[in-house]
Structure 1
Amino acid sequence: MTNKLSEVLNYFKLVLLIGRSLVSLRHLFKNRYVLFNNGQIWNDSPTCGNNYVTNVIVKNKKIKLTRVQKISVSNGNSDEWDVSTLTALLLFIGRPKTLSTSEIQQLDQEDKLLEQLRDIRNKVTHSPKKSVDDVQFNQLWTDLAAILIAFGDVNTELEKQKDDSVFESPKQPVNEENMKDALRLNSLGTQAHKDGKYSEAVTFFTKATILPDVSNHDRATFYSNMAASRLALHEQQKASFIKFESLDAKDERYLALQDAKQARNLWPTWWKVHFRVGKVRAALDEHKKAINSLERAFALDHTKNEIQEALDESRIILSRQSPPKYLDSTEFTKAIPEILNELQRKFGTDPEMVRKYHSLIEKIDSSRADVLKGHKYALGDIDVKQDYEQAAKYFAKAVDQGNAEGMYNLARLTDYGLGVKKDHNLALKLLEQAAAQPPQNPICEQFPNVGVAESEHALGVRYFEGIAVRKDLSVAFYWYQRATDHGSAMAANNLGSMYLDGLAVDRDLEKAEELFVLGARRGDPLAMMTLAELLLSKNNFQMAKIWYDRACESGNVVAQEKRDQFAEQIEKRQQLINESSGDELKAVYLLEYLIGLFQAKHAPSVLSDHSYIKDYKMLSEHANRGSITAKQLCDAVGHFTHALNILLSFERLTEGQEDIFVHELAQCYRIENIVAQIPCQLHKRVSEVIDRVLYRCTKESNSVASQLDEDVRVCYVTLHINSYELIDEFLPLCKQKYPKSIYFFLTSGAVNGFLRRPEVGLYNINNGLEIEPDNCELLYHKAVLLRHLGRDIHEAITAYQKFLSVAPKDHRKVPEVYYEMAICYMLGYTPDLAIDRMMKLYMEGKQAEKLQLPCFLPYKSENIAYLKPMLDMEFIQNIRSVPDNNRKQHLTDPHRVEIIKKHREWEGKALQEKHISGYTVHSFTRKPRVKQQTAKSLIGLNPITLREIDPRKDQVYNGYVLSVTIIEKTYSWIPSIHLVIEDENFDCERMLVYGFPKKQGEYLISELYTIGSKMHIINPYLRIGANDMKPTIRVDEFSSIVMQNESERILNMCRYCCEANASKTCSRCQQAQYCSKECQIMDWKLYKHKLICQTK
């Protein structure tokens, strides 16, 4: 605890040192003002400030000031400006052209120092953990001191700031009479605040602050209380319908901020002053800054619930304001009549029919009736006035009946504090309860259970952002994946972003693009814009423009604001391609490719679909043949299996069982932590067990080391490895209590690496190597950190070679080490010296892959992406060429999988109807919104593909023809023929055919509309389903289908990959044909062939 306090104090010492620069920065600003304005002097007056804002800041687009900063500048008093404001003004104000060479050189030198100061300030200020270890502290202090001395500060004075005494209230004369009077005024102000007389409270507190000879800590208390009263006064004015057109210097929130900052200056280590600044920032809608101040408060006192509640609130609001979005985009803004009219306009849905349908549902399902009434009160309806309290009551009634939609909507109201008390923890429980419900509607299984996917997505956001839960990217990924599987558009987008940035999963650009397409098709405006930008980077200009336009039409405000800019980017890239030679384009694409690699955000990949438990037999065989790696994995699997069995065998664990569970899990982590793939549904329970054991150990033996205490700490740091700041705070005491445990030094090295602090990481790794010099994991991390430091590439290469000398040949990092050594040569040597060595190491890495255990194949390496442009000429040739359509890439596309599975579910029921007496599939359709017409011939029609058809717009594409192949047939033709079609890009969609002669139904499905048949659809109609709101190619005019020649048909088409001449047949149904055993397995697993596989 003492160590932790020391690191927190280190942080605040740096903050104070940065604050000390204000005097120099103000002096520098005033000198430059004189220099740039023909000798005029900045006199700190409002006139000076207003003129400066009007004539300089407003006209300079480079200067980005917040509303609060602009007001402080317009006031003119430079004493009110913070470091951020001053550095922005100094760095971005334009210079006059009349400056001499020496003046320009001096300004350039000053600007370099300002940039360094700004970067250090941002690094320190925005560090979420608000604590700094001694190694990093000394480095930052040295860098800051050098800057301040260059600006005229004195080194001996700076050294005094290092002592803890800087946080003590300075010795100052205190007038006892003034002190008594100040405390009396403070007491009167506090009572007036309690009585709701906030203006009076401000008056009392003001009088207390101006009394001389009062201690700094007491004066800080008065300023803090005054800030609280000003905020309350602002809320009172709002409640009295006083309009606030814009923020100005008389606004109570602005005045409250000045008071809170004064309190902070007087007592920088009191949690409440930072809490107060955070609350004011939140009231000003500056939630990023609010979170920063609240995290400072939390670092000073972890026990205050009000800090955590304020943090949760600001994080929720911030995540609503910026992607990833919180909950959903349909806030409580539109009344029900408005929503129904919008549905009618877009999809032709009759509002009266919807109301009749709701009335029918109310008679069938009482919980759904309560949900509908809840929506009426939450949104307002023709005969119902908006009333959140009544809405909450009806949603709560639905919750009592197990209704997921009721749970989700009550969670939303609880999060907002609408109609019920705001409670983020209760909202969390409601979301978890909703997410535990079945994904399909319990009464109508063909429809989703509304509220389930929405809650899963909301839980993903909470774990991604750390709202009312500990931030955990692996759990966020789990919930996003579940929500995506159950139909959420926003979850698909957020999941795509995690794959794009390599957060908690291996970076996978193809998977990311698939998910962006899925999210965009489902209607998420943010996914549409992200997809457009991705397509632009791949030079697919046509589809980039189409998706960007769709994003704008769907209400994406950011896309709308940047529409002209995006069009310019398309034009510039087209011009670049047209005007550049082939070699020039390759160079440009290669540069963009490498920039993309370096811009990726990486977090440890803690998720894996691989089960090492299932590999136990294979691992045992390799272990028996002498594989040390396999033996270690077997041992780890044994411990993990034991731990998992304990957890699954008992609903509640005794303390003794918890201790055994923790020991077995810790042993697994020590041996090989990748083995412990804890199912996400068990993650919460595992975390609770570890927290309970850790609490017991801490409470019972705070200063006594024990095996159980060490074990539970190993489990805690590994389980929360993605929460870098949290673990970095937790590890010092672990290393102090268990100085011989290399696991804590190894983890500390890895975490500091991800925190971009390689020096600190290397220090910890070297400490571990003193204990165990030949430890493979420590040696590997040492080499990686040396490479990242970049000071001595030869030293990094030597460290890699040391690893290779002690590691087993089948160690999973051996190929990676060869690739990383090649990168060392690429970074540290000239190309003529490096290329041969790089090629040799690259080939050695490829050879080492062949020695890997089967569970590590195919081998994955992020570093190969950096080497290929240097070593693989074919890769360079194809780095940005427009790829040929690749059917294989589309086979696992999430939309394709969903379409085929849903089709087979439907057709499986149709088969049951045929084979089971009395079994009937009920189906109905609604009249389409628009009428499709056919053309006399194909001549003059423009070709169109599925990706060019907007999947969210109910529309007939007159004058176009869609050419497709049938890849899934139907077994029924009442009331329509259900097919799945694929176009030339291997995109697929479901298709419904109406309007055919009923007598021909059986002939059409058995002879004409068969698998492999090709057709043209004239004037295709993209219909949005009236019930499921999903897109379908609908044909109402039967003559608009023109079948292609039988010779064009794909004969014996494989049911999985859709290639011709499949030679194998399903032995059970004798109908499905396959190219290979692999295709049959994939069709069974991925597309669920079992649903339609019937014995003849």
Structure 2
Amino acid sequence: MANISNEVRNYFKLDLLISRSCLTLRNLFLTRYSLFNNGQIWIDSAVHGNNYLTNVISKNKKINLMPPQKKTVGNGDTNEWDVSTLTAILLFSDRPQTLNTNEIQKLDQEDLLLEQLRLLRNKLAHNSSKSIGDIEFNQLWNDLSTILVAFGDIDTELDKLKDDSVFESPEQTINEENKNEALRLNSLGTQAHKDGKYSEAIKFFIQATVLSSVSNHDRATFFSNMAASRVSLYKQHLYTVDNCEDGDITKELDRAEKDAKQARKLWVTWWKAHYRVGQVYAILDYHDKAINSFERALALDSTRIEIQKALDESRIIVHRNSRQEYLDPRANWKTIPENLNELKEKFGLDPEMVRQNRSLLELIDPSAADVMKGHQFALGDIDVIQDYEQAAKYFAKAANAGNAEGMYNLARLFDNGLGVKKDHNVAREWLEKAATQPPEHPIIKGMPNICVAESEHALGVRYFEGISVRKDLSLAAYWYERATNHGSAMAANNLGVMYLDGLAVDKNLEKAEELHELAAKRGNAVAMMTLAQMRLSKNDFEMARIWYDRACESGNIVAERDRDNFIKTLEAHQKSSPDMLKAMKTATNYVLSFQSKVSPSVASEHLYLKDYEMLCGYAKRGSITAKNLCRALEHHILALNILLFCETLTEEQENIFVHELSQCYRIEQIVGQIPSHMHKKVSNIIERVLSRCKQESNFIVSQLDEDVRVCYATLNFNSYGLIEQFLELCKKKYPKSVYFFLTSGAVHGFRRQSDAGLYNINNGLEIEPDNYELLYHKA
């Protein structure tokens, strides 16, 4: 750990804390499985796993698991299910109609914690640098540990994971004889692997791993080496007619995955263990998981070139698979006759005329002739056999003559390893050279310089994804903007997304919409779909349908697949209350225009305003949680709209604002998110209303006085010293208000004053014996 930065240590400590939650979530799954299945007990077995996968997971569209997660579910061993798998199953499994009110309330409260845990886990998983500063670390640690303690974990045990000693190999009694024998076997296995005798190597490594009293770090090495041999054995048999001894060579990959994970478990800060897990995931085509493992490995040792290369490969594959922009015809490797026929079908262009025009261009610009020959060899043409090596030679000749199209296409060959040795760094260098060429053709004035915009867009993708470069969203935005200005539809779409999400640019919904409309008009189907959603959010139903139909007409597979769901959503919007839709749209757009949010409860990145209509749907189907969230959101919307439409509030407007906000907090605090820039304004309003109530009398009871105290206590919840005394006064003045006893109990709980917390909870239960929140906190 000596050479590992404090920020990287922070990340791995939080990762250990997340991993610890698996046991809690597993027990929760077993409990719910029995509850949902008339007392039936889950048995870890392939029979149970396959039945559950077939009869529950496959039939529930809300449970969205990736292929590797489905595989572990099918195996039936819940000990192998990760946090993402368990939270998805727990949150989205259908509940039986036979549950009583207490059971439903208990599940609802657990689901709120699960949702918070899922968001925190995702935030950690999507941290590509695998490093976290101390301030953010402490906040995330507090949030995570609070959730785990609420589920019954012990806070003192969690605190032990904060110490750097968790990364050190535990004190072990080493048997020198066994150690030496294990090292000898490992040496024999390593030599057998070098000789290509992978089955023999695996046998040596197995013998090494079973010897007792050998250090964890040594055993991690043996498991890592064994995983490498299993992968090589798989590759060796993959292209031969020979069969593996057990008749199923694919099982070697499953074994390799388990071995690599065991190495990682034994030595959590060893780069090669994470790298080995990533290698197995990449071969299994689980590139999202591979990226996460490679990023961890790189964080632990940034000098390893092999890690960066593997990371680049997986990031490229994920980008190609997930970005619908690759459905653009220009990204496909079609033969020249196929491309010409497509131009004829779409635009009525005569293929022979197109060839003649190209020939004229070659006369004007000799390097264009080399580009054309490059295309003929790269794609195949009449009387030309595809030959990537020859294509690379012609593209290189054109590139060296300053031709941007030659540079761009040569870069594509280097990226794909076609006709040249794959090298993403060399590809990037050629893209950079192409991007520095003038956007206008150097000879034919008024004609765009082909592939300059494409190169600029490709550089934006590289910096956005971190392919052969360090991730830099600011540089991605820079290149996307240049490419957009030079005519790229894909870049306009991607830049629009960055403005929509506020990634490295100030969030600007109007700018995002302009860019998406520009991309859509240039023919980008993804932008058309996004634009349809934007028009829908503005209740412009006609244009929403038009843009979505255009996306379908363009042949976009995703648009065609999801059309029915889009139409259902559109029709649901049309049936909703116009006033509530208008208020919701205004509040949502306003909050979305600011990145940071302040929530009075556990920090959450999720914006519940966007989910209002979906929650209404669940509420209509009987979900108590969804119904409560909808009610709370409606009060929250009314409160926000008072602030949005009134620059200066009258006393009456301030009183109404306080009442609506307090109703939101009473029903469900988590949805009452206040944009950070508005927090001071809200605090000032609450303090003014509280001051007016106090001036009347500290002894006069009123609804407004109780409401403003609810707001004050909620917004200042994290200031324990300030709020504790305030709540004592509130309880005396409003002895029948459960909210003050609940909040007071929670404050004492966070301060680890269990006796005082229990006293307040019990007092609250005397008022409302069936209040589930009180019962939950008591437990």
Q: TM-score, normalised by structure 2?
A: 0.71
Match of 2:279 in 1: 279
Post-superposition offset of 1:34: 3.4
Deviations 1:50-99 (A, max 9, x none): 12212222222222222111111211222222222222233333333444
Task: Tell which has more relative contact order, 1 or 2 (C-alpha 8 A, sep 6+).
Answer: 2
1:596 to 577, 580, 589: 589
Post-superposition offset of 1:24: 3.1
Deviations 1:861-895 (A, max 9, x none): xxxx999x9xxxxxxxxxxxxxxxxxxxxxxxxxx
The SS at the match of 1:43 is coil
Amino acid at match of 1:488: S
Post-superposition offset of 1:539: 4.0
Match of 1:194 in 2: 194
Task: Give the Cα–Cα distance (whole angstroms) in 2 for the partners of residues 454 and 88 of structure 1.
Answer: 39
| Cα separation, partners in 2 of 1:409 and 1:36, compared to 1, 3 Å | same
- 1:421-500 paired onto structure 2 within 5 Å: 421-500=421-500
Post-superposition offset of 1:410: 0.8
Amino acid at match of 1:594: A
- 1:373-772 paired onto structure 2 within 5 Å: 373-576=373-576, 585-600=578-593, 602=595
Post-superposition offset of 1:407: 0.3
Deviations 1:380-433 (A, max 9, x none): 223223222222122111112111111000111111222222222211110111
Task: Give the Cα–Cα distance (whole angstroms) in 2 for the partners of residues 504 and 120 of structure 1.
Answer: 21
Question: CA contact under 8 A between 2:325 and 2:524: conserved in structure 1?
Answer: no
Deviations 1:268-319 (A, max 9, x none): 1111212222233333333333322222222222222222233333333323
Deviations 1:990-1014 (A, max 9, x none): xxxxxxxxxxxxxxxxxxxxxxxxx
Question: CA contact under 8 A between 2:594 and 2:675: conserved in structure 1?
Answer: no
Task: Give the Cα–Cα distance (whole angstroms) in 2 for the partners of residues 257 and 266 of structure 1.
Answer: 14
Deviations 1:93-143 (A, max 9, x none): 333344455544544444444334333333333333323344444444444
Question: CA contact under 8 A between 2:237 and 2:249: conserved in structure 1?
Answer: no
The SS at the match of 1:839 is coil
Q: Which range is displaced more, 465-474 or 423-432?
A: 465-474
- 1:31-50 paired onto structure 2 within 5 Å: 31-50=31-50
| Cα separation, partners in 2 of 1:191 and 1:599, compared to 1, 3 Å | farther
Task: Give the Cα–Cα distance (whole angstroms) in 2 for the partners of residues 518 and 833 of structure 1.
Answer: 34
Deviations 1:207-235 (A, max 9, x none): 33333332211121122223333334444
Match of 2:334 in 1: 334
| Cα separation, partners in 2 of 1:234 and 1:99, compared to 1, 3 Å | same
Q: Give the unaligned 5+ runs of structure 2.
A: 602-634, 651-673, 679-779
Size of the aligned set, in residue pairs, is 618
Question: CA contact under 8 A between 2:583 and 2:637: conserved in structure 1?
Answer: no
The SS at the match of 2:330 is coil
Post-superposition offset of 1:434: 0.7
Amino acid at match of 2:265: N
Amino acid at match of 1:95: R
Match of 1:369 in 2: 369
Question: CA contact under 8 A between 1:324 and 1:494: conserved in structure 2?
Answer: no
Match of 2:706 in 1: none
| Cα separation, partners in 2 of 1:600 and 1:201, compared to 1, 3 Å | farther
1:77 aligns with 2:77: yes
Amino acid at match of 1:592: K
Task: Give the Cα–Cα distance (whole angstroms) in 2 for the partners of residues 403 and 376 of structure 1.
Answer: 17
| Cα separation, partners in 2 of 1:561 and 1:103, compared to 1, 3 Å | same
Post-superposition offset of 1:834: 7.6
Task: Give the Cα–Cα distance (whole angstroms) in 2 for the partners of residues 350 and 148 of structure 1.
Answer: 68
Q: Give the unaligned 5+ runs of structure 1.
A: 577-583, 603-786, 793-825, 842-864, 870-1096
Task: Give the Cα–Cα distance (whole angstroms) in 2 for the partners of residues 340 and 10 of structure 1.
Answer: 56
- 1:30-179 paired onto structure 2 within 5 Å: 30-179=30-179
| Cα separation, partners in 2 of 1:12 and 1:866, compared to 1, 3 Å | closer
Task: Give the Cα–Cα distance (whole angstroms) in 2 for the partners of residues 249 and 77 of structure 1.
Answer: 22
| Cα separation, partners in 2 of 1:591 and 1:196, compared to 1, 3 Å | same
| Cα separation, partners in 2 of 1:19 and 1:332, compared to 1, 3 Å | same
Task: Give the Cα–Cα distance (whole angstroms) in 1 for the partners of residues 645 and 50 of structure 2.
Answer: 64
| Cα separation, partners in 2 of 1:315 and 1:40, compared to 1, 3 Å | same
Deviations 1:1025-1071 (A, max 9, x none): xxxxxxxxxxxxxxxxxxxxxxxxxxxxxxxxxxxxxxxxxxxxxxx
Match of 2:292 in 1: 292
Larger Rg: 1
Match of 1:206 in 2: 206
Give the structure with the higher percent helix: 2
- 1:721-870 paired onto structure 2 within 5 Å: 789=598, 838-839=647-648
Post-superposition offset of 1:25: 2.9
Match of 2:744 in 1: none
| Cα separation, partners in 2 of 1:13 and 1:590, compared to 1, 3 Å | same
| Cα separation, partners in 2 of 1:511 and 1:121, compared to 1, 3 Å | closer
Deviations 1:358-388 (A, max 9, x none): 4455455432222112112211223223222
| Cα separation, partners in 2 of 1:171 and 1:575, compared to 1, 3 Å | closer
Deviations 1:602-636 (A, max 9, x none): 5xxxxxxxxxxxxxxxxxxxxxxxxxxxxxxxxxx
Q: Which range is displaced more, 329-338 or 831-840?
A: 831-840
Percent identity, aligned pairs only?
63
The SS at the match of 1:59 is coil
Post-superposition offset of 1:242: 10
Post-superposition offset of 1:37: 3.1
Task: Give the Cα–Cα distance (whole angstroms) in 1 for the partners of residues 249 and 150 of structure 2.
Answer: 35
Amino acid at match of 2:486: H
Question: CA contact under 8 A between 1:185 and 1:205: conserved in structure 2?
Answer: yes
The SS at the match of 1:443 is coil
Question: CA contact under 8 A between 2:325 and 2:526: conserved in structure 1?
Answer: no
Amino acid at match of 2:165: S
Question: CA contact under 8 A between 2:509 and 2:593: conserved in structure 1?
Answer: no
Task: Give the Cα–Cα distance (whole angstroms) in 2 for the partners of residues 405 and 521 of structure 1.
Answer: 24
Question: CA contact under 8 A between 1:456 and 1:479: conserved in structure 2?
Answer: yes
Task: Give the Cα–Cα distance (whole angstroms) in 1 for the partners of residues 505 and 431 of structure 2.
Answer: 25
| Cα separation, partners in 2 of 1:514 and 1:33, compared to 1, 3 Å | closer
Amino acid at match of 1:212: S
| Cα separation, partners in 2 of 1:255 and 1:329, compared to 1, 3 Å | farther
Deviations 1:157-182 (A, max 9, x none): 43433332221212233333433333
Task: Give the Cα–Cα distance (whole angstroms) in 2 for the partners of residues 338 and 264 of structure 1.
Answer: 49
| Cα separation, partners in 2 of 1:234 and 1:420, compared to 1, 3 Å | farther
Amino acid at match of 2:485: D
| Cα separation, partners in 2 of 1:132 and 1:385, compared to 1, 3 Å | same
Question: CA contact under 8 A between 1:319 and 1:325: conserved in structure 2?
Answer: no
Task: Give the Cα–Cα distance (whole angstroms) in 2 for the partners of residues 788 and 93 of structure 1.
Answer: 30
Question: CA contact under 8 A between 1:328 and 1:454: conserved in structure 2?
Answer: no
Question: CA contact under 8 A between 1:484 and 1:492: conserved in structure 2?
Answer: yes
The SS at the match of 1:330 is helix
Question: CA contact under 8 A between 2:584 and 2:637: conserved in structure 1?
Answer: no
The SS at the match of 2:60 is coil
| Cα separation, partners in 2 of 1:132 and 1:560, compared to 1, 3 Å | same
